[in-house]
Amino acid sequence: MSNCYFSVERAGIYTTFQDSGYDFLQHFGVTTGGVVDNNLFRTANKLLGNDDNEPVIEFAYQGPKLKLEKGNVQIAITGDVHFIISKKSENYTDTLGKCFQTYQLHEGDIIDIIATKSSIYGYFGLLGGFKLNKYNSSGSTLVRSKIGPNDGRKIQENQLIEFNKESQNEKLKQISFPTTDKSNVIRVIEGPQESFFSLETINQFYNSPFTISKSADRMGIRLDGNQIISKQSPNIPSEGIIKGSVQVPGDGNPIVLMVDHPTIGGYPKIATVILNDLVKLAQLSFGKEVSFEKVSIETAENLYYENKNNLDEIFKSIKNYNNKYLLYTLVECQIITRLYFM
């Protein structure tokens, strides 16, 4: 047992260790996996001064409640997340946390990641990272395959989570992260089996809205709406597939494949969501409406590098802050809210 660890008082709904995932293993039947939202993942590690690919805890809807049993550590949470820090030195007074900045936790402190707000996924990172048993050099958990750290399982209540090193008296950092794109237009490139669909059906795919169904997770997102029916057989010989592929099964309801997608599939693919917008789609909750817009491969590539460059520029804005002025107790937050809306 490490000298530094948390205990898990509540695990959350779907809480796993993740990094950028697995490369070059699909021919062995191992999917890529990795974080759903690479922008938030990178930002957490940049705030903490970690390597870009240092594993973090990814959570969906509700995160874990953790008690720091041994050690001291600096943490950061990225996303649109409601969380509370309760410090032992302050008699466990609940303090409302802010995303996109670092906090110093001391032995006995508790962090309660209560819920995501306008999005689905959030990220919890530590300076120096977690102590994990990696698989093929990756800290990504593939729950369905039982591959990766934590014996390939979701994080469980009452387990202990070790981390690599203590950190204290480190400068606290914050960053102004831009608001997520509110447009629900999802850009795609032409799929390898677009010719399986009539021109009328293709126009319907691009001109009719779809709704995020309840069948949505790290493997894929099923969409409800006008049925997209292939003019040929709804089944094809199984072939390799990638995240972002828009498969159309026999019932005509498209499925957008996500990071834990199967390595092969036997449904025709009408389109492929570009990487920039796959993150946006993944963060949309049940019942949200989306529509598709076709772009060229060149446009998709330009948008990818534009996003990467924009993120690099944002990282330059990371600055130190004084913890004293950016933490409010819940009582103080309620007073501020009442004054604001009077």
In the chain, ranges of CATH 2.40.100.10 domains: 185-307
Question: How many other β-carbons are positioned within 10 Å of the β-carbon of residue 176?
Answer: 10
Decide if 55 contacts 16 (C-beta within 8 A).
no
Q: How far apart are CA 310 and CA 13, in angstroms?
A: 32
Reading the chain (342 residues) residue by residue, the pLDDT tens digits are 568 999 999 999 999 999 999 998 999 999 999 999 999 999 999 999 999 999 999 999 999 999 999 999 999 999 999 999 999 999 999 999 999 999 999 999 999 999 999 999 999 999 999 999 999 999 999 999 999 999 999 999 999 999 999 987 789 999 998 876 778 999 999 999 999 999 999 999 999 999 999 999 999 999 999 999 999 989 999 999 999 999 999 999 999 999 999 999 999 999 999 999 999 999 999 999 999 999 999 999 999 999 999 999 999 999 998 765 444 445 444 433 343 333
Residue with tokens 């409302």: 96
Residue with tokens 């120096």: 128
Taking phi over 0 as left and psi of -120 to 50 as alpha, with beta for the rest, 106 belongs to beta
CATH says 185-307 is which class?
A: mainly beta
Taking phi over 0 as left and psi of -120 to 50 as alpha, with beta for the rest, 44 belongs to alpha
C-alpha distances in angstroms, 240 versus 21, 65, 288? Answer: 17, 39, 29
